[in-house]
Structure 1
Amino acid sequence: MRRSLFGQDHEDFRLLVRDFIAREVAPAYEDWRSAGLVPRELFTAMGKLGIIGTAIPEEYGGGGQDDYRFNVVIQEECARAIVTLGGLRTHLDVVVPYFTGLANAEQRARWFPGLATGELYTAIAMSEPGAGSDLAGVTTRAVRDGDHYVLNGAKTFITGGHHAELVVVVARTGTDPDDRRAGLSLLVVEKGMPGFTVGRKLEKIGLPVQDTVELSFADVRVPAANLLGEEGAAFSHLGRNLAQERLAIAVGAVAQTRAAIDLTVSCVRERVVFGEPLSHFQNTKFELASMSTESEAAQCLLDAALTAHVAGELSSVDAARTKLFCTETQGRVVDRCLQLHGGYGYILESPIARLYVDARVTRIYGGTSEVMKTIISKSLGL
């Protein structure tokens, strides 16, 4: 179905991203997969071209285009080439909005030029061994000591934590017996601060080039000037960007679903079974027809949500509906696509296998499907 989401600026940007991926990413991607990491210089190279600084104001060297559709283009082009760019999605879609929305004038002058050029790369540290979706259960603690906070605790499942120069840490700075959500703050911890340790890279079943690590903080003295937003207001600060975080996951889910269908259409035309191309069998045609319809439905829902988000009108409930439908569709469709590839689909060197293992996490991170259903059911008065 015809999409009306993008303008000419977005399509010009798309060509820039597509060319960059073809020149700088695709030829080296297998080496990155073997290494289990994208190189840090990838982000500075993208920064020089203006690909990752679009949301940073022009006065700091950015593109001055706070338009989420540019981020959508990057995800769609990565899916088209069947590559991922480490934790870049988290940096752009999740963390940078906290800086642009909460940083004061001094922090903007200090950090924004590096964010625009890619010289500063970010991560956010929320999850702990005992606290995932339940942020009120965070135990990492920061105690004010003069002009510093003394930070102690541990975080896990931190996307981009290996490369990040700036890590936004959710820490408890106070308590309120009547409100578990009160007393959480956002502190920006900088790489190299004494007591800040980047732990082991966690091995995952998918997303091999994305660094996912453990972080620990032992009496880290974080300047009070690195407090992002208001002290004790982290829960409300984090809630401001949850819709976009969940929407971003849906964007990748739909783009990868479409890539899986394209791969499968090519496969069934070439794969011969019982002396005939697999594409000649009615079951194959019906399966792909159903998958194409599901994919289009997901794309239409997603584009409606994106349009609402760009207009500043996307609700948390609609973001939850979008993430739930798009990621569950991705899981079903990619599984059926792999089935049509036969045994080759189970071999990791096959692109469909990569899409299959990468798809599994989208129903978990950013809030599980069960959490999305809880949000939606509450909106129904249940």
Structure 2
Amino acid sequence: MRRRAGTARKLVGMTPVLPDLLNIDATLSDTERDIRTATRHLVDDLVRPHIARWYADGRIPARQLAAQFGESGLLGMHLDGYGCAGASAVEYGLACLELEAGDSGVRSLVSVQGSLAMYPIWKYGSDEQKDRWLPGMAAGELLGCFGLTEPDSGSDPASMTTRATRTADGFRLDGVKMWITNGTVADVAVIWAKTTDEDSGRDVVRGFLVPTGTPGFSAREVPAKLSLRASATAEIVLHGVEVPETAILPHVTGLRGPLGCLNQARAGILFGALGAARDALASALDYATTRIQFGRPLAGFQLTQAKLADMTTAWNSAYLMALHIGRAVDAGTATPQAISMGKLHSTRTALDIARTSRTILGASGITGDYPVMRHAANLETVLTYEGTAEIHQLILGKALTGFDAFA
């Protein structure tokens, strides 16, 4: 069908292509490219045809997607054993990039399951806890969530007020957790709480595995979100939740437990955000080459080309940093500061790209016919969670100067 003059095609159900001007693909292994391609096809089949509606409706078929992602080996894919794929950090990152090219909420479903729910069980759990939860979570039959953030305790997790009080049979949990991805659909919650250390008498942070059907556990969907709408986000209330001694994660004490999980998640997010950016940029490029104004395509104007050139250069810069950090993670040489730099750079770059891409699409950029505004709105959340931009700046500032400016 011939397109009317002045109109541009709508990209629905397909991944828009961004030219690889630096030939970065040549640096990837065959396995890395295969995982990226397989994940891209999965997103094209399962996500792209439906995501505009899910976003508009503020819902996501989390359990259905989890089952299909589990069958494809995406859940906990960077972990070994228990049905997990044992993929590298770069392979996991490339999968996150493709998932977030579909939508940030879809990538959040996968990364929370693998890095924030499965990882603490895999890293800090007992053999019994691993056997009970990990195979079902890897298969997508069971979903998990990660309860660290509280209404008044976000960037400062040490100020959490959720408590675990020892009882004759284990612990009683009381408190509120906020902004919990997968919270309303999870089968098990990894809850971080303060409890009194019996040896020192001091408060310490410990992790607890809480089946969500336990009496006193409730999860309520956070209403009226304007970002990350295709994601199940909950407020969790723990009111006298009784768990046995075996619920505690035995192999970690203190904030290094949840912070170690956040580093795992950030390593995926710094790739993932670039997926949203690439999708926005490629959509803007496609639009600019087909949208006719003043008798020629938008792509033929100098100002449009300048925007496209600057965005492509910024995207490739952040992508190369992500690959470098991913390979350092695989080599065991990555530092928390490096991961913070990657998360900071990727999310800020991605948000700038999405916003600028929107300007190329003009009024069409604010509609659900194109993914650009949806990505921009989602990236506002991605910029903030797993450490705000300011927190990552302070982490880098401390590494550079030696001075702790957090307080």
* TM-score, length-scaled by structure 1: 0.91
User: For 1:53 and 1:380, how far apart are their aligned partners in 2?
Assistant: 33
**1:155 matched residue in structure 2:** 177
**Which structure 2 residues correspond to residues 299-378 of structure 1 after superposition, within 5 A?**
299-378=319-398
**2:157 matched residue in structure 1:** 135
Give how far 1:230 is off.
4.1
Within the candidate set 146, 150, 175, 1:124 is matched to 146
Equivalent residue of 2:255, what SS? helix
**1:228 matched residue in structure 2:** 249
Pair 1:215 & 2:216 matched: no
Conservation of the 8 A alpha-carbon contact between 2:221 and 2:234: yes
Within the candidate set 171, 175, 188, 2:193 is matched to 171
Pair 1:90 & 2:85 matched: no
- Equivalent position amino acid for 1:172 in 2: K
Residues 105 and 41 of structure 1: is their aligned pair in 2 closer, same or farther, counting only changes over 3 Å? Answer: same
**1:49 matched residue in structure 2:** 72
**1:105 matched residue in structure 2:** 127
**1:239 matched residue in structure 2:** 259
Conservation of the 8 A alpha-carbon contact between 2:104 and 2:375: no
Within the candidate set 140, 144, 147, 2:166 is matched to 144
Unaligned runs of 5+ in 2: 1-21
Give how far 1:8 is off.
2.4
Conservation of the 8 A alpha-carbon contact between 2:274 and 2:315: yes
Q: How many residues align?
A: 377
Give how far 1:124 is off.
0.3
User: For 2:387 and 2:174, how far apart are their aligned partners in 1?
Assistant: 25
- Equivalent position amino acid for 2:305 in 1: K
User: For 2:126 and 2:132, how far apart are their aligned partners in 1?
Assistant: 10
Equivalent residue of 1:228, what SS? coil
**2:212 matched residue in structure 1:** 191
**1:114 matched residue in structure 2:** 136
Conservation of the 8 A alpha-carbon contact between 1:242 and 1:316: no
Q: What per-residue deviation string (whole Å, max 9, x for no partner) do you get for residues 326-362 of structure 1?
A: 1111122211111111111122442111111111112
User: For 1:305 and 1:270, how far apart are their aligned partners in 2?
Assistant: 37
- Equivalent position amino acid for 2:215 in 1: P
| Identical-pair percentage | 27
Conservation of the 8 A alpha-carbon contact between 2:100 and 2:273: no
User: For 1:323 and 1:83, how far apart are their aligned partners in 2?
Assistant: 14
Within the candidate set 261, 269, 273, 1:253 is matched to 273
Q: What per-residue deviation string (whole Å, max 9, x for no partner) do you get for residues 114-148 of structure 1?
A: 12211111110111111001111010111111232
Unaligned runs of 5+ in 1: none
Residues 151 and 83 of structure 1: is their aligned pair in 2 closer, same or farther, counting only changes over 3 Å? Answer: closer
Residues 258 and 24 of structure 1: is their aligned pair in 2 closer, same or farther, counting only changes over 3 Å? Answer: closer
Equivalent residue of 1:164, what SS? coil
**1:265 matched residue in structure 2:** 285
- Equivalent position amino acid for 1:132 in 2: G
Q: What per-residue deviation string (whole Å, max 9, x for no partner) do you get for residues 30-87 of structure 1?
A: 44334422221221222223332534544x3333x15223322322222444574252
- Equivalent position amino acid for 1:368 in 2: T
User: For 1:80 and 1:361, how far apart are their aligned partners in 2?
Assistant: 15
User: For 1:334 and 1:192, how far apart are their aligned partners in 2?
Assistant: 40
**Which structure 2 residues correspond to residues 12-91 of structure 1 after superposition, within 5 A?**
12-39=34-61, 40-58=63-81, 60-63=82-85, 65-81=86-102, 84-85=105-106, 87-91=109-113
User: For 1:262 and 1:12, how far apart are their aligned partners in 2?
Assistant: 21
Conservation of the 8 A alpha-carbon contact between 2:77 and 2:87: yes
User: For 1:312 and 1:37, how far apart are their aligned partners in 2?
Assistant: 38
- Equivalent position amino acid for 1:41 in 2: Q
Pair 1:282 & 2:305 matched: no
Residues 363 and 54 of structure 1: is their aligned pair in 2 closer, same or farther, counting only changes over 3 Å? Answer: closer
Q: Which moved more, 1:22-31 or 1:308-317?
A: 22-31
Conservation of the 8 A alpha-carbon contact between 2:90 and 2:327: no
Within the candidate set 307, 310, 318, 1:298 is matched to 318
Conservation of the 8 A alpha-carbon contact between 2:164 and 2:194: yes
User: For 1:209 and 1:299, how far apart are their aligned partners in 2?
Assistant: 25
CA RMSD of aligned residues (A): 2.3
- Equivalent position amino acid for 2:245 in 1: A
Residues 242 and 312 of structure 1: is their aligned pair in 2 closer, same or farther, counting only changes over 3 Å? Answer: farther
Residues 6 and 374 of structure 1: is their aligned pair in 2 closer, same or farther, counting only changes over 3 Å? Answer: same
Give how far 1:201 is off.
3.0
- Equivalent position amino acid for 2:375 in 1: L
Give how far 1:372 is off.
0.8
Within the candidate set 186, 190, 202, 2:223 is matched to 202
Q: RCO greater where, 1 or 2, for CA within 8 Å and sep 6 or more?
A: 2
Residues 96 and 37 of structure 1: is their aligned pair in 2 closer, same or farther, counting only changes over 3 Å? Answer: same
Residues 204 and 5 of structure 1: is their aligned pair in 2 closer, same or farther, counting only changes over 3 Å? Answer: farther
User: For 1:375 and 1:249, how far apart are their aligned partners in 2?
Assistant: 17
Give how far 1:253 is off.
1.6
Conservation of the 8 A alpha-carbon contact between 1:6 and 1:69: no
* TM-score, length-scaled by structure 2: 0.86
Give how far 1:262 is off.
0.8
Residues 143 and 81 of structure 1: is their aligned pair in 2 closer, same or farther, counting only changes over 3 Å? Answer: closer
User: For 1:15 and 1:291, how far apart are their aligned partners in 2?
Assistant: 23
- Equivalent position amino acid for 2:250 in 1: G
Residues 243 and 15 of structure 1: is their aligned pair in 2 closer, same or farther, counting only changes over 3 Å? Answer: same
- Equivalent position amino acid for 1:67 in 2: S
